[in-house]
Chains A and B, each alone.
Chain A
């Protein structure tokens, strides 16, 4: 709930190294993930999400979990890692965690394309 009410990582990184935009208008969620890379590690990560409470909370959580990790390790973050971080996630909202994973992946792909 806190990750919905007061997400710590909500925002934009102006000089991001990678930006990933994912979403599915059908389920109503649009997510933008910004990553900053230093020495192969994710040094900063922020998000902007239009979506339900779960989509906002999972966006915030993946930032929490991924920050400080190497790119490869960050890509290995599982849906379970996000759920564990949040405590719980209702069954119908499981896809939100999937969207967060996709967002990170898209940001990394964007970074790799440019570097």
Chain B
């Protein structure tokens, strides 16, 4: 088994060479604590601020609106819990297909909450959202694009609606979106999107793991949920992790010059077309309104985890749903929210393409996919 093909870019991506190179000096050579006033500290401070500017330029925001965090999960927690803290009557609206980093945060916030259903393609309806808004509603958090099926939500429409609604309300509704999977593939102008908060992750965009960020509108006050040395406006205390922040900044800068979206989309469309020729194959999620690097299928008579393992034997990395769900036995909460029966949800396979995916990779994948499905159907007798 010499061939290795990585088709799990929604789980994580490799660090781009340019990103790694830019990070390296900040481990052993330029190691100053950016809070120090000497030259070592200044050196670190300058590159952290450069990263912040790069991100701000990408999101069309102001630099001071960017908060570097240790992960996207942390960014979601800082925004959601920070927005709700001290507000005992607060009501939150989120969606059934959110990543656990949002869903679990909302559930554990102590606030009253509503989970919006989704349609068969995994999309939230604006009408449903409107119907769930109460006097107490303080926050709406809906992801930009889904991590399992790639469904793109109508963030801009929700943002516009909330802006109008807020003009009539005394208690304003904040709008947050987890854009971890979306950035790099979809427009990310926070002004256009109409969001008050937006979460990004480093390692999904060819940056390092262990770093994420939160965009937070400047005039919005969040209550801190972490306490310490007051870094990042007191919202994310802890010594600045210079190399990772530098990596995040560079990764975002590379996204701006990304020209591969169309190429990825072409490859993905070809993949979907070919896979759907397999008997008993179906596509989960929408045909077009999905991330250009995402495809998610179900195969009758085949269990997803077995399929992932057989493909792995051929050097092909794919996933059943989200990488984190593979430890639990429950079928994907996303596919179930979309109305898939349990068995179909268990037979799902997520294929997520990346910058390095080629047509040849997909040909090799298709041949082995067909073989694996045949084999598993033989075993299952279904």
- Name A residues whose Cβ lies closer than 8 Å to a Cβ of B: 4-5, 7, 10, 12, 25-30, 32, 48-53, 55-56, 92, 95
Cα(A51)–Cα(B347), bound, Å: 9
B379 contacts the other chain (Cβ, under 8 Å)? yes
Q: Are A5 and B380 in contact (CB under 8 A)?
A: no
B329 contacts the other chain (Cβ, under 8 Å)? yes
Residue of B nearest to A54 (CB): B305
Q: Are B327 and A28 in contact (CB under 8 A)?
A: no
Minimum C-beta distance from B281 to chain A (A) = 16
Please list 15 pairs of residues, one from A and one from B, whose beta carbons are closer than 8 Å in the complex, sorted by A's number: A4-B306, A4-B309, A12-B381, A25-B341, A27-B330, A28-B303, A28-B305, A28-B331, A48-B379, A48-B380, A48-B381, A50-B381, A53-B309, A56-B379, A92-B327
Residue of A nearest to B347 (CB): A28
User: Among the listed B309, B328, B378, B380, which residue makes an inter-chain contact with A30, where contact means beta carbons less than 8 Å apart?
Assistant: B380
B301 contacts the other chain (Cβ, under 8 Å)? yes
Apart from A25-B343, A26-B331, A49-B379, 5 more pairs, CB < 8 Å: A27-B330, A28-B304, A30-B380, A55-B303, A92-B329
Using Cβ atoms and an 8 Å threshold, which residues of chain B touch A50?
301-303, 343, 379-382
Among the interface residues B301, B304, B342, which one has the most CB atoms of the partner chain A within 10 A?
B342
Interface string of B296-331 (1 = CB under 8 A from A): 000001111110011001000000000000011111
Using Cβ atoms and an 8 Å threshold, which residues of chain B touch A28?
303-305, 329, 331, 342-343, 345-347
Q: Are B343 and A10 in contact (CB under 8 A)?
A: no
Q: Are B381 and A32 in contact (CB under 8 A)?
A: yes
Cα(A30)–Cα(B377), bound, Å: 12
Residue of A nearest to B304 (CB): A28
Q: Are A53 and B305 in contact (CB under 8 A)?
A: yes
Cα(A53)–Cα(B343), bound, Å: 16
Using Cβ atoms and an 8 Å threshold, which residues of chain A touch B306?
4, 51-53, 56
Cα(A29)–Cα(B382), bound, Å: 12
